Structure 1
C-alpha cells in the first residue's frame, strides 16, 4: 500500500507541470557520451515518448563525438583538438557527416518511431536548415584555422516549425552549410542554443555527463541547483566556472538573453533524468533563469 501511495504522490506532484507545459516547446541536447550508456539511452527515449504523449513539443539536437573518433580511428585518421574543438579537414568532415547525419541520427529517430511517436531526422543541409559560417579560434591573438568547423549563422525557423506543427519530433544532426555548399561541423551545444532562441523555446535542456554546476567541482556540497543569468555571468567572469563547462554555460546565457524561458543542465547518465528534472518540485540538475521570479 505504501508503494501505491508513493506512486500517487508522484503523479499528483507532476500534474501541475503537465498542465503548465502542454503545448510548449522544449529543445533537448543529447550528448554523444550519454549514448554509450544503453540503460540511460533507453530511459531517455521513454522520457521523450512520454513527454510528447502528454502534449510537450520536442526538438532534439544530438552530438556524437565519441562515435566520430571511433570511426576516424578505424580509418586511420588521427583526431586532433584545439581548445576542445575537433580540427576538421575535408576527409574528417566526410566522416563527421556520415556518423552524425547517417548513423546516429537515424538510430535515434528509429528508436522514437518504434515507440509509437513520430520523429524525423534532419541535418543542416535538409531544407536549408542551418546556414553556417567558418569558425576561427584565437590563442594569444594568433588566428588559427581549424578547418570545416562552423558557427550558426541562421536557422530556417519556418522549416522547423512546419515539422513541429505536423506533430513530428525533429532530431537534428549538428552540421551546417555555407553559401558555397561547404559542410561544417558545429558544436551541438551551440546548435541547441541557437535553435532554442530561434523558436523562443520554453526550455533548453542540456544532457551532460555531470550532475550540473558546482562552485567547486571537488566539493559536492557546492552544487548549484538554481541561478540567474547575471549570476552565471559573474561565475564566468570570476573564473568560478571554467574549462569545458564554460562554453556550455555561455550557450545557456545566450539562449536566455535571446528569449528562451529557462535552461537546465542535467546528468544524462541518470535514468529518467528528464522526468525527474521537469516534473518534480526538487529537480535533479541546475536551472538557469532570467531573474529571481
Structure 2
C-alpha cells in the first residue's frame, strides 16, 4: 500500500524532472568538460554516483569529457616503490623514475577505474591520455621541475569522432613532447586547455571546497573574470584557489562559455549545476552580458 510519504516523494521527483526540462533542452548537444579528482575518486559509492550522473548527461544529449587527476594514488605508489620525491618551490620534480609511475597510475589504474565505473552504469566510455592521437602536445614548464609540461597544442579531432559515436572520453593528464618525451600535466590545466580547444559550453572543476568565497566567507555564485582578478589582487582569493581561478580565466579567454568551481563531494553536483535553476558552486564568465 502506498504511503503518503511515498506519494510526496514521487510528486517531488516528478516536479524536479519537469522543472529540469528547459535545462535539458538548453544543454542538448553541448560539450561539457569535467575535471574529476579529490576525495570522490577514492570512494566507491561516490564513484558509482558520479558515473551514473555522467551516463545520464550523455543519455540526454550532453557530450561530457572527463579529465582526471590521481595525486594521492601516485603518492601511494611512489611510497610503495620507495621512490623519493624532490620538490622545488613546493612543486614535485618529475624525473624519469617518477614519470614512469605517474603514467602507470594515471593511464592505468585510475583511468580504467573511471572507465569501468561509467560502463557499469550502462554508458560507453573509453580511456585516453593526452599522448593518444596527438591530443595534447606539451612544452616543458620549467627545467627545474623535470618532465612537467604545459599544453601548447591541442588536437580535439578524436574527441569529436567519439562524440559522434556516443562515446564518453576519459582523459589522463599526460602529454607528448616534441622530441618523444612524456610530460605530466596539472589536471586542471589539461582540462582547461581541452575545454578551450573544444569551445566547450562549460568547464566544471570539481574540488573539495564549495566554490570561490568572498571577503565575508560566503560562496559567490556568479562572478566575472574582472571580479576574479580584483579578488586575487585584494588577497581574497589565495592559496590553492588561485591555480583554479587562473585555469578558469585562461579557459574563458580561450573560448569556454563559462567555468564552474564546485564541490565534487556533493552528491549529483554536476546534475545540480547543469539542470537546476540554482546550480552549484561558483560560476565564472567573461561578463554578465
**TM above 0.5, one fold?**
yes
CA distance 1:245–1:81, shift in 2 (3 Å): farther
Alignment pair present for 1:55 and 2:54: no
In structure 2, distance between residues paired with 1:83 and 1:166: 44
Task: Give the 5 Å matches for 1:29-40.
Answer: 29-40=35-46
| SS of residue matched to 2:138 | strand
| SS of residue matched to 2:148 | strand
Q: Does the 8 Å contact 2:88/2:144 carry over to 1?
A: no
- 1:12 match: 18
- 1:149 match: 148
CA distance 1:95–1:107, shift in 2 (3 Å): same
Q: Does the 8 Å contact 1:40/1:272 carry over to 2?
A: no
Give the structure-2-normalised TM-score.
0.94
| Offset from partner CA, 1:6-54 (integer Å, 9 cap, x none) | 1122112211000110111100000143211322222111110111111
Compute the displacement of 1:236 (Å).
1.5
After superposing the two structures, state which structure 1 stretch, 110-119 or 149-158, moved more: 110-119
CA distance 1:289–1:14, shift in 2 (3 Å): same
Instruction: Specify which structure has the higher proportion of strand.
Output: 1
Compute the displacement of 1:154 (Å).
0.7
In structure 2, distance between residues paired with 1:22 and 1:82: 45
In structure 2, distance between residues paired with 1:83 and 1:39: 36
Q: Does the 8 Å contact 1:63/1:188 carry over to 2?
A: yes
After superposing the two structures, state which structure 1 stretch, 50-59 or 34-43, moved more: 34-43
- 1:256 match: 252
- What RMSD in Å do the two structures reach over aligned CA positions? 1.4
Q: Does the 8 Å contact 1:109/1:120 carry over to 2?
A: yes
Q: Does the 8 Å contact 1:45/1:112 carry over to 2?
A: yes
- 1:141 match: none
Task: Give the 5 Å matches for 1:18-33.
Answer: 18-33=24-39
In structure 2, distance between residues paired with 1:116 and 1:150: 35
* Runs (5+) with no aligned partner, structure 2: 1-6
Which of 263, 267, 270 pairs up with 1:267? 263
In structure 2, distance between residues paired with 1:84 and 1:20: 42
In structure 2, distance between residues paired with 1:148 and 1:32: 23
CA distance 1:251–1:83, shift in 2 (3 Å): farther
Q: Does the 8 Å contact 2:115/2:127 carry over to 1?
A: yes
- 1:173 match: 172
Q: Does the 8 Å contact 1:157/1:198 carry over to 2?
A: yes
CA distance 1:195–1:59, shift in 2 (3 Å): same
Runs of 4+ in 1 over 4 A off after TM superposition: none
| SS of residue matched to 2:144 | strand
After superposing the two structures, state which structure 1 stretch, 157-166 or 245-254, moved more: 157-166
The aligned length equals: 283
CA distance 1:176–1:9, shift in 2 (3 Å): same
In structure 2, distance between residues paired with 1:202 and 1:210: 23
- 1:105 match: 111
